[in-house]
């Protein structure tokens, strides 16, 4: 998504700017809304001047439209236009129906980004608004793909009943993630590493291979000035061999936040263990555990295994302007074996930008 632009109350916004702002504010709640979708709302007056913004801050808290409404006076609500990233909900759950609330107010129009796939909402939110005489419009414009990306975790969860999986790679220009000695700190810039901490916060769990834990001794916590969150850590340790090692991860994270994915449980392992025979089965068990999204951070064998199994939905690549060389380097795809170009793993919806001194790319795996 594009860089955020700051607007003040009273600023004149175009429809595109209003929807972009709604997406920007929506991300503020991304660390805490799971399993709900990330949603943002922008309200403008009939001249299209900014009145208020709102977002879904945490599961069980006010939805974005209600958060915005609480910042408006009765006079400001009259003839206002709402821009919301997802169709207003029609059903009563932990919170009331946003569509029903808006329908009681003198709102002129609601522009929504995408239709909610939930059958309790799908089209019904729109129907409630239209019955009340409020104009509705599904957004169709250059930000449409970004709107789907904003909700992609929720959409896969709800439609496919599967865990959404992203992989993050920090690499040199020639695809190396470390030296063969294990040295890997640091390849990318401080700006990229700060953004990684923000991305971590958007997912229910971070997944890493056992070799990465032993060789890098990472903290895998979220170190961001604006985000305080302790997520789950999943260690892919087929041999169940590292639980007794002196690693930072066991000292930093609470015991209940650490899970081991293993071939066979070991009664000496004090952490929760999930047995698996293949990765698809493992992700299905993660779903049963209540996990809705995973953020894979290495290493090379783990990346290759999930890619080969077709389980990666999105990839984040941070590429530093440096070359390490294959002779002494370790490529992030070193365990991936493609024997024909017809079998190459393809991605779509590519987005590219510069972060610090690095090239940042993100894309969707084509078949996901």
Q: What are the domain boundaries of the chain?
A: 15-153, 162-365
Residues 6+ apart with CB under 8 A from 177: 169, 170, 171, 184, 187, 298, 299, 300, 330, 331, 332
The pLDDT assigned to 333 comes to 84
3-state SS, one letter per residue, for the chain = CCCCCCCCCCCECCHHHHHHHHHHHHHHHCCCCCCCCCCEEEEECCCCEEEEEEECCCCCCCCHHHHHHCCCCHHHHCCCEEEEEECCCCCCCCCCCHHHHHHCCCCCEEEEEECCCCCCCCCHHHHHHHHCCCEEEECCCCCHHHHHHHCHHHHHHHHHCCCEEEEEEEECCCCEEEECCCCCCCCCCHHHHHHHHHHHHCCCEEEEEHHHHHHHCCCCCCCECCECCCCEEEEECCCCCCCCCCCHHHHHCCHHHEEEEECCCCCCCCCEEEECCCHHHHHHHHHHCCCCEEEECCCHHHHHHHHHCCCCCEEEEEECCCCCCCCCEEECCCCCCCCCHHHCCCEEEEEEEEECCEEEEEEEECCC
The pLDDT assigned to 4 comes to 61
- Kindly report the backbone phi and psi dihedral angles of residue 35, in degrees, each rounded to the nearest multiple of 5, phi listed first: -90, 10
**Mean per-residue pLDDT over the chain, rounded:** 92
Q: In the Cβ-directed half-sphere of 136, how many Cα atoms lie within 13 Å?
A: 23
The two domains 15-153 and 162-365 share their CATH topology (first three levels equal): no
Report which of 187, 110, 130 is spatially closest to residue 359, judged by C-alpha positions. 187
65 is catalytic: yes
Taking domain 162-365, whether its CATH number is 3.40.430.10 is answered by: yes
- Kindly report the backbone phi and psi dihedral angles of residue 298, in degrees, each rounded to the nearest multiple of 5, phi listed first: 110, 175
Are residues 321 and 173 in contact, defined by beta-carbon separation less than 8 angstroms? yes
The pLDDT assigned to 164 comes to 98
Residue 116 falls in which region: left (phi positive, over 0), alpha (psi -120 to 50) or beta? beta
Residue 71, both tokens: 């910042």
Question: Which pLDDT tens digits describe the chain residue by residue (368 residues)?
Answer: 444 668 889 899 999 999 999 999 999 999 999 999 999 999 999 999 999 999 999 998 999 999 999 999 999 999 999 999 999 998 777 777 899 999 999 999 999 999 988 766 778 899 999 999 999 999 999 999 999 999 999 999 999 999 999 999 999 998 888 777 766 778 899 999 999 999 999 999 999 999 999 988 888 888 887 787 888 999 999 999 999 999 999 999 999 999 999 999 999 999 999 999 999 999 999 999 999 999 999 888 999 999 999 999 999 999 999 998 877 788 888 888 888 888 888 999 999 999 999 999 999 998 65
The pLDDT assigned to 313 comes to 97
Q: Find how far residue 39's CA is from the centre of its chain.
A: 12
Report which of 113, 137, 118 is spatially closest to residue 126, judged by C-alpha positions. 137
Whose tokens are 């047995």? That residue is 275
The pLDDT assigned to 187 comes to 86
The catalytically annotated residue of 16, 65, 87, 198 is 65
The pLDDT assigned to 123 comes to 82
Which tens digits make up the pLDDT trace of 191-218? Answer: 999 999 999 999 999 999 999 999 888 8
C-alpha 97/C-alpha 89 separation (Å) is 6
Strands 329-331 and 176-179: antiparallel
- Burial class of residue 234, CB neighbours in 10 A (0-12, 13-18, 19+): buried
Strands 164-171 and 109-114: unpaired
CATH number of 15-153: 3.40.140.10
pTM over 0.75: yes
- Kindly report the backbone phi and psi dihedral angles of residue 285, in degrees, each rounded to the nearest multiple of 5, phi listed first: -70, -35
Q: In the Cβ-directed half-sphere of 261, how many Cα atoms lie within 13 Å?
A: 24
């Amino acid at each position: 998504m594009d860089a955020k632009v700051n607007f003040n109350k009273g600023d004149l916004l175009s429809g595109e700017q209003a929807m972009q702002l709604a997406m920007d504010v929506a991300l503020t709640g991304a660390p805490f809304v799971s399993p709900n979708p990330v949603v943002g709302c922008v309200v403008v007056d009939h001249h299209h001047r900014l009145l208020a913004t709102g977002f879904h801050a945490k599961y069980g808290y006010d939805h974005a439209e209600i958060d915005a409404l609480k910042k408006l006076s009765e006079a400001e609500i009259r003839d206002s236009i709402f821009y919301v990233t997802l169709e207003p909900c029609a059903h009563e759950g932990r919170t009331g129906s946003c569509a029903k609330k808006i329908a009681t107010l003198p709102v002129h129009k609601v522009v929504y980004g995408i239709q909610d796939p939930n059958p309790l909402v799908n089209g019904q939110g729109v129907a409630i608004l239209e019955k009340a005489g409020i104009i509705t419009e599904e957004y169709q414009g250059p930000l449409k793909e970004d709107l789907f990306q904003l909700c992609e975790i929720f959409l896969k969860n709800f439609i496919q009943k599967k865990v959404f999986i992203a992989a993050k790679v920090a690499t040199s220009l020639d695809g190396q993630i470390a030296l063969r000695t294990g040295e890997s700190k640091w390849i990318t810039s401080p700006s990229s590493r700060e953004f990684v901490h923000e991305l971590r916060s958007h997912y229910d769990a971070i997944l890493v291979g056992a070799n990465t834990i032993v060789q890098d001794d990472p903290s895998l916590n979220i170190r961001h000035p604006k985000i305080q969150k302790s997520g789950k850590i999943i260690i892919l340790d087929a041999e169940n061999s590292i639980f007794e090692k002196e690693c930072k991860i066991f000292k930093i994270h609470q015991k209940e936040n650490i899970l081991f994915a293993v071939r066979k449980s070991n009664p000496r392992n004090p952490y929760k263990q999930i047995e698996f025979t293949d990765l698809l089965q493992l992700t299905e068990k993660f779903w049963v555990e209540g996990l809705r999204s995973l953020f894979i951070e290495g290493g090379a064998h783990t990346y290759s295994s999930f890619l080969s199994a077709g389980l990666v939905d999105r990839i984040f690549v941070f590429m530093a302007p440096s070359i390490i060389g294959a002779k002494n380097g370790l490529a992030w795809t070193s365990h991936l074996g493609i024997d024909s170009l017809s079998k190459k793993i393809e991605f779509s919806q590519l987005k590219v930008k510069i972060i610090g001194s690095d090239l940042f790319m993100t894309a969707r795996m084509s078949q996901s």
